[in-house]
């Protein structure tokens, strides 16, 4: 049972773990080859340089964030497999789970070939776009490539029909329908949850993408249902502010390493109260000068203004001890971030407990055990720091 509220970022290793479930060796190797070399082989199709791991699963709808495609791929494969197991039990069936795993992994494999990273990312709510010179959509691309690679026809049919009743061809096997329904469930649910994230981002004045960097839309949906809208906003704000502050500090450290330990005073203002005071004084000075100038005409106004501008743009030298201060500050903030994660996790556990309406006759040992383990784990983590 995994209860951390923070989003797990999937990697190719997770895909390879999934591939291990395919029993047929030939099929398994074909899928592995595809993961290792997913590019269409047609000479006119250029690599978009967006990897399967980083690609979103859509531009405006479900899983529209970095890492969304691999998340969707893993979720639908697992979903379809579990549905297959249930049906097998209920109806005494023998479904082809190899096909389900292979179909799940491959079904949207060509999507990155139609996406591009936006050059101007001023509005980071939408980092990706469709490529301008559109060739073929992901299904057609995939079928063509599977043909070329001589993949089993039943698998090709599953992939080509995964859009179900909305696609060019309907599935013609139970496995095919399961893949389609799993795809539909995961995409639709994510869509619903994305609308909630969109609304929260809007009323908090934050970027939607900042939410997805730390949480999946479904986790936000779950949190809203358990802890309520107001508390969710409070935690989101805390989390995102801390995350942003860490990001700024880490960038500053990088800048320092690249620019021989110098920083523009504006970027360095958080380093000390003196620098902050200095900038505030300059701001006040500028205001006073402007006010004065609007009452009486200050003869050397331009000169003074220029002087203040120069004083706002000076470069400061940052020595190693200050760099250490930044390191330590980052460390401190990361601990604070962990506390917020931990508090969120506790709230969720607590909600779970209330829902279970623990009574001593019930067998809740597993739940107690789990919570106990979690608390020990947290305390050991704290100890180690």
Among the listed residues 210, 193, 222, the one whose alpha carbon sits nearest the alpha carbon of residue 3: 222
Q: H helices of the chain, where?
A: 12-19, 25-36, 68-91, 97-106, 138-148, 153-160, 174-204, 208-214, 217-227, 229-258, 265-268, 273-295, 301-312, 320-356, 365-384
- Residue whose CB is less far from Fe ion, 186 or 208: 186
Interaction residues for Fe ion, span 214-273 (CB under 5 A): none
CB of residue 5 vs Fe ion: minimum separation in angstroms?
Answer: 25
CB of residue 42 vs Fe ion: minimum separation in angstroms?
Answer: 19
Among the listed residues 184, 183, 185, 180, the one whose alpha carbon sits nearest the alpha carbon of residue 157: 180
315 bridge partner residues: 264
Q: CA 72 to CA 158: how far, in whole Å? A: 17
CB of residue 29 vs Fe ion: minimum separation in angstroms?
Answer: 24
CB of residue 161 vs Fe ion: minimum separation in angstroms?
Answer: 11
- Residue whose CB is less far from Fe ion, 188 or 290: 188
- Residue whose CB is less far from Fe ion, 5 or 176: 176
Among 183, 208, 210, 213, binds Fe ion (CB under 5 A): 183
Which span sits near Fe ion by CB under 5 A: 63-71, 179-187, 293-301, 329-337?
A: 179-187
Q: Give me 93's structure tokens.
A: 């069936």
116 bridge partner residues: 129
Residues that contact Fe ion, how many (by CB under 5 A): 2
- Residue whose CB is less far from Fe ion, 57 or 249: 57
Q: Which residues contact 370 (CB under 8 A, 6 or more apart)?
A: 1
φ, ψ of residue 18 to 5 degrees: the values are -65, -40
CB of residue 80 vs Fe ion: minimum separation in angstroms?
Answer: 11
Pair type for strands 128-130 and 262-264? unpaired
DSSP string spanning 135-147? ---HHHHHHHHHH
CB of residue 154 vs Fe ion: minimum separation in angstroms?
Answer: 18
- Cα 372 to Cα 126, 346, 367, distances in angstroms: 41, 12, 8
Tell me whether residue 124 is exposed, middle or buried, using C-beta atoms within 10 angstroms of its C-beta: 0 to 12, 13 to 18, 19 or more. Answer: exposed
Does 71 contact Fe ion by CB under 5 A? no
Which span sits near Fe ion by CB under 5 A: 33-41, 178-186, 258-266, 292-300?
A: 178-186
Which span sits near Fe ion by CB under 5 A: 142-150, 181-189, 215-223, 357-365?
A: 181-189
Q: CA 159 to CA 71: how far, in whole Å? A: 18
Which span sits near Fe ion by CB under 5 A: 177-185, 250-258, 320-328, 356-364?
A: 177-185
- Residue whose CB is less far from Fe ion, 175 or 183: 183
> Which residue in this structure is represented by tokens 């279970």?
356
CA dihedral 192, 195, 197, 198 (to 10 degrees): 170
Contact predicate 232/224, CB 8 Å? yes
CB of residue 180 vs Fe ion: minimum separation in angstroms?
Answer: 9
Q: CA 289 to CA 88: how far, in whole Å? A: 81
Contact predicate 209/124, CB 8 Å? yes
Q: Which x/- pattern over 85-124 shows residues binding Fe ion (rule: CB under 5 A)?
A: -----------------------x----------------
CB of residue 183 vs Fe ion: minimum separation in angstroms?
Answer: 4
- Residue whose CB is less far from Fe ion, 5 or 68: 68
- Residue whose CB is less far from Fe ion, 78 or 267: 78
- Residue whose CB is less far from Fe ion, 108 or 145: 108
Q: CA 279 to CA 313: how far, in whole Å? A: 10
CB of residue 190 vs Fe ion: minimum separation in angstroms?
Answer: 10
Which span sits near Fe ion by CB under 5 A: 9-17, 180-188, 204-212, 372-380?
A: 180-188
Q: Which x/- pattern over 137-176 shows residues binding Fe ion (rule: CB under 5 A)?
A: ----------------------------------------
Residues near Fe ion (CB under 5 A):
108, 183
């Amino acid at each position: 049972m995994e209860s951390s509220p923070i989003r797990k970022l999937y990697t190719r290793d997770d895909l390879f773990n999934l591939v291990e479930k395919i029993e047929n060796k030939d099929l398994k190797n074909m899928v592995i080859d595809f993961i290792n070399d997913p590019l269409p082989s047609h000479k006119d199709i250029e690599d978009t340089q967006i990897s399967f791991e980083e690609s979103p699963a859509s531009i405006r709808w479900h899983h529209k964030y970095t890492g969304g495609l691999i998340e969707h791929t893993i979720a639908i494969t697992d979903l379809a497999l579990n549905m297959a197991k249930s049906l097998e039990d209920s109806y005494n069936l023998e479904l082809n789970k190899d096909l389900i795993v292979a179909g799940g992994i491959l079904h949207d494999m060509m999507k990155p070939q139609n996406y591009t990273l936006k050059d101007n990312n001023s509005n980071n709510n939408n980092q990706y776009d469709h490529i301008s010179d559109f060739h073929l959509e992901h299904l057609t691309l995939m079928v063509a490539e599977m043909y070329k690679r001589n993949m089993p026809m039943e698998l090709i049919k599953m992939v080509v029909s995964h859009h179900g009743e909305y696609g060019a061809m309907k599935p013609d096997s139970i496995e095919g329908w399961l893949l389609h329904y799993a795809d539909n469930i995961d995409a639709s649910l994510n869509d619903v949850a994305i609308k909630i994230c969109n609304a929260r981002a809007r009323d908090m004045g934050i970027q939607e993408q900042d939410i997805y960097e730390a949480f999946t839309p479904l986790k936000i949906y779950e949190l809203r249902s358990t802890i309520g809208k107001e508390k969710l906003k409070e935690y989101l704000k805390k989390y995102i502010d801390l995350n942003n502050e860490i990001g700024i500090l880490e960038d500053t450290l990088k800048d320092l390493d690249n620019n021989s330990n110098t920083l523009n005073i504006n970027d360095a203002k958080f380093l000390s109260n003196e620098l902050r005071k200095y900038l505030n004084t300059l701001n006040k000075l500028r205001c006073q000068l402007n006010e004065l100038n609007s009452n009486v005409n200050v003869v050397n106004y331009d000169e003074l203004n220029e002087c203040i501008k120069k004083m706002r743009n000076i470069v400061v030298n940052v020595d190693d001890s200050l760099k250490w201060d930044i390191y330590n500050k980052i460390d401190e903030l990361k601990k604070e971030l962990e506390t917020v994660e931990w508090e969120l996790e506790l709230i969720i556990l607590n909600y779970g407990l209330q829902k279970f309406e623990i009574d001593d006759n019930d067998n809740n040992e597993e739940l107690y055990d789990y919570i106990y383990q979690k608390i020990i784990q947290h305390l050991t983590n704290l100890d180690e720091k």
